[in-house]
Every structure is written in structure tokens, then in C-alpha cells.
Structure 1
Amino acid sequence: MPPGLVIALAGVLGLLVGSFLNVVVHRVPAGLSVVSPPSACPGCSHEVRHRDNVPVVSWLLLRGRCRDCSVRIPARYPLVEAGTGAAFAVTAWRFDDPVVLVAALVVVGAGIGLALIDLEHQRLPFAITRVATILVVLVVVAGAATGSAIDWTAVAVSVACWTGLYALLHYGSGGRAMGLGDVALAPVLGLVLGLVGWPAAVVGLFAGFVLGAVVLVPLRATGRIGRRAAVPHGPFMLAGAALGLFVGVPLSQAYLTTIGLS
């Protein structure tokens, strides 16, 4: 299949996944089913028509309002859809190995939903992490069964490092330094980054802490965030993993070249 077509199809898939993520972000934290009942307007409770459920396009045609009661539909919905579509397209552009591509798409989709939930509710639901982990494991197993080249050493070391560090931070601090949701998310991030290679895994692992420090230290120093205020680490963790996934290898190569080791 031509690369351009793969990228386009991935972008369309991302739009559809983004539409579903809007449901997930709203319902999962509330303990509601993501499949029933069908989506409805919060203002008039009228079920959303199929033609009004086309990602991005429907929101634009409706001018951001419900067809029945004209209540405003938050711009976050089309932004999540468009953002997920763009993220999927970039992922398809970056990776041509089928196993890495599919595994990365799973993590990218789940990661967007988890980041949004963590920012709003300060939690990473196990339900999403569990599904993402199962899907990635199935992708890797299927890839191995069909003869895909997988560096099992890199995968094992990456999973062990990601899981071990987050588990140590959680249990070593009695849960104060890191939440259990972060610990549950670490293995699947380590698995996918391990598929790309150990440089991606290392960059992704430490980039999350660096990004957190860059953002939070100035905010705490200026008093905009209290020193004891709880701040979700999930978005930084996921952003760091994304950096490792997409640019971890070239970043590590540039660093090694700079210090004369490559």
C-alpha cells in the first residue's frame, strides 16, 4: 500500500477514534458505559443523529450548536477529533513497520484520552490502561507469530526500567510521589518504546520528568501553584513517551555525537 494512502487512512481512523475518545473522556471517569446509551445532547437530552456525529465536519456545519435546542457544543470536541487524526497521521508517517505502527497507534489514542482525564480528574483509569496494554500485547504476539523482527532484549529492558522506576517512586514514597495509575501505565509505554529501541525508551522515560520540572518548578517558585498542591504527572509522562517515540532515536544519536561517543 502506498505510504501516502496509509497516512491518509490513519488520519481518518484518528478522526473516528477522536470522536470515540470524547465519549470515553466524559463517561469513564463517571463509571458509565462507553457503548450505551447513545450520545445525547446534555441540554435537551435528544439523541445525537448519525449525520451530526461526523468528526469535525458536523460541528462546523452545526456551527457548534445542538440541532434541536441550540445549546453550545464545546470546541474541545472537534479539537480532540482533529488532534487525534493529526497524531495518527504523523504516527503513520513516522513508522512503516506494521507492528510498531499499530502498537504506537494504540498508545497514542489511549494516551490522548488518559492525558485529558488526568488533567481534569487527576487520575489515570485502569480500564483504559488495561485495554491498551492487552491490545499492544496482542499486536506484539501477532507480529512475533508472523515473523516480525523484534528486539526482545530491548523490549524486556525497556519494560523493566519503566515499570521498576515508577513502582519504586510509588511504593518508596507511600504513593505521595507517584500515583498507582502511573505505575499501571508504565509497562505498556515501556513495551511500545522498547519496540522502537532502547534510545527511544531512555529518552521517553526521562523526558517526562524533565518536562514536569520545566513546567512546574517555575510555577511553584512564583507561587502560582502551591508547593504541596497535587499535580497530575500523567500528561508529562505521556508527553515524554511521545518525545521518545517520535524523536528519541535521533535525539540520542545527536547527544552521543556531541559527546564524541558516536
Structure 2
Amino acid sequence: MTISMLAVLIFIFMFGACIGSFLNVCIYRIPRNMSIVFPGSACPACGHGLPFYANIPILSFLILKGRCLFCSHPISLQYMVVEIVTGMLAVLTYLIFGWTPEALVWFAFAATLVVVSGIDLAFRIIPDRISIPGIFVFGILARVVLDRPLTGIVSGILVGGGILYGVALVYYLIRKTDGMGGGDIKLLAMIGAVTGVTGVLFTLFAGSFAGTGAGIAAMIRNRHADRRMQLPFGPFLSAGALVYVFFGDPIIDWYFLWAVF
């Protein structure tokens, strides 16, 4: 790797980390029905506004040792994790899609899924104000930028939302209780808008596989936990969708190659 290439990757990572800092604002404020623009960033404990030097992605967290500059209240590790993850996603998007309009679409999609995952982990909800507009926005981007056929976009939305709606309906008829939130249904419809039916099926399989593994690990770790405990499904669907976007084609090719033999 040349020095110039390394410099480009560092720049892209830093850009992604800055976007991740904004995503943290979205994760904190959207579920609380707060504006994501005003007021500026402040400590959630003491309410003191944060100067720019206390709000530098990753570095400020490390320099301040995870504490507020003014009241020394602990800052959640989530903030740095989101910034690092978003920076890595920016680099990965560039490496796979280069300097293209498609790269901007996929990075915006990835950033949206980061927000969805953060909110679902913290609040066990996926806000409609993200998923419903996301269906239309990413559907339009899939048509205009990615040049996807309209039939593929519509079928991806219908299959994405329809599969989980059907699962939730059957579960309710059998158990007489909700087993899946409506947010997951709309999230998979949003994923289908930009990835199509193939992306929906891949996402659902990968997300279910990862979710099952996480559930088993959680029960092993805490043997006294309720076996009916609920795990937020949004982060697993989001992870499955991102795996499809970045690595879906080679994984599918590998699967069918081994399936034939």
C-alpha cells in the first residue's frame, strides 16, 4: 500500500468517524423526539454545552478517558464504538465501490442502519420516522442512482415487509401475544427497497442465524434467564443487510458452488 493510498484511507476513516459523531446525536435524540440539529452537543448528565475540542470523534473520548470535561460523569462507550464502526464502514464502502455515486448511496444506507441498530439496542424500538421515509428514499435512490428496475424495488419492499408480517401474524395466532415488533417489519421493507428480493432473503437468513447464535450465547451466559427473553432483531437484520451489500455476491457464489458439489 502506497503512502498516498494510506492517506486517503485515513481521511475517509476520519470523515466516517465525524459522520458517526452525528449518528450518535441521532441515536440519542430521535427516540426522545428531540431535534437532531438544535441545540448543540451537551453532556446528558450536567447539560453543559461541549466545545469543539471536547467533541472530536474518538480522540476526545480517549483523551478525556470516557468522562465529561465539566462534571466527570462517565460517557457511554457507545459513542466511540459508533464513530469507529462508521469510520470502518466508510473505508469499506470506498474500497468496494470507489469514488462513485453508488458508494454514497450504500454509505447512507449503512449509516441509517447504524442509527437503527443503536436505537433498537438502547430502546427496543425502530422509529417509524426512520424506516418509513427510508423505504421511499432508498427506493428512489435504488431507481435513480443504482438503476434498479421498479418491479425489483417494489417486490423487495413487499417481500421484505410481507415475510416478517406473516411470521408475526402466525406467531400471534399461535401464542396470542406479539412476538415481533412492527419496526422490524418496516425495517426489512426498507432493506428490500434497495437490495431487492435476493437481499431480503439473504438479510433474513443471516440476521436470523446471527440472532439465534446471540440468543443461545446469552442463555448459556445467564442460565437463569427467561428462555422467552426478547432480543432486539433490528441490529441483526442490519448486520445481515450490510454483509449482503459488501460481501453478498461472493458468499452467494460460494454457496451455490458448494451446493452443486
TM-score, reference length from structure 2: 0.82
Q: Deviations over 1:102-160 (max 9, x none)?
A: 222122111112112212211111122234334323423442xxxx6435554444333
Question: For the aligned residues, what is the CA RMSD?
Answer: 2.9
Structure 1 residue 202 corresponds to structure 2 residue 220: no
Note the C-alpha offset of 1:12. Answer: 3.2
- Which residue of the other structure, out of 161, 164, 171, is the alignment partner of 1:163? 161
Structure 1 residue 214 corresponds to structure 2 residue 213: yes
Structure 1 segments (4+ residues) deviating >6 Å: 2-6
Q: Give the gaps of 5 or more residues in structure 1.
A: none
How far apart are the structure 2 equivalents of 1:190 and 1:225? 34
Aligned residues of 2:23 and 2:115 also touching (Cα < 8 A)? yes
Aligned residues of 1:163 and 1:183 also touching (Cα < 8 A)? yes
Q: Deviations over 1:202-240 (max 9, x none)?
A: 322311112222222454577453122222211221122
Aligned residues of 2:31 and 2:127 also touching (Cα < 8 A)? yes
TM-score, reference length from structure 1: 0.82
Aligned residues of 1:200 and 1:247 also touching (Cα < 8 A)? no
Structure 1 residue 243 corresponds to structure 2 residue 248: no
1:190/1:255 CA distance change after superposition, 3 Å: same
Structure 1 residue 106 corresponds to structure 2 residue 105: no
How far apart are the structure 2 equivalents of 1:229 and 1:202? 25
Between stretches 10-19 and 112-121, larger displacement belongs to: 10-19
How far apart are the structure 1 equivalents of 2:61 and 2:14? 16
Aligned residues of 2:143 and 2:149 also touching (Cα < 8 A)? no
How far apart are the structure 2 equivalents of 1:216 and 1:103? 32
How far apart are the structure 2 equivalents of 1:91 and 1:58? 25
How far apart are the structure 2 equivalents of 1:219 and 1:54? 34
Aligned residues of 2:184 and 2:234 also touching (Cα < 8 A)? yes
Code of the residue aligned with 1:246 in structure 2: it is: F
1:57/1:192 CA distance change after superposition, 3 Å: same
How far apart are the structure 2 equivalents of 1:107 and 1:217? 29
How far apart are the structure 1 equivalents of 2:101 and 2:204? 21
Q: Deviations over 1:59-99 (max 9, x none)?
A: 23333333333333333212211111111211221224845
Between stretches 167-176 and 238-247, larger displacement belongs to: 167-176
Note the C-alpha offset of 1:36. Answer: 1.9
Aligned length: 253
Between stretches 248-257 and 199-208, larger displacement belongs to: 199-208
Aligned residues of 1:129 and 1:185 also touching (Cα < 8 A)? yes
Counterpart residue number, 2:74: 72
Counterpart residue number, 1:233: 233
How far apart are the structure 2 equivalents of 1:12 and 1:135? 26
How far apart are the structure 2 equivalents of 1:226 and 1:114? 26
How far apart are the structure 2 equivalents of 1:98 and 1:48? 35
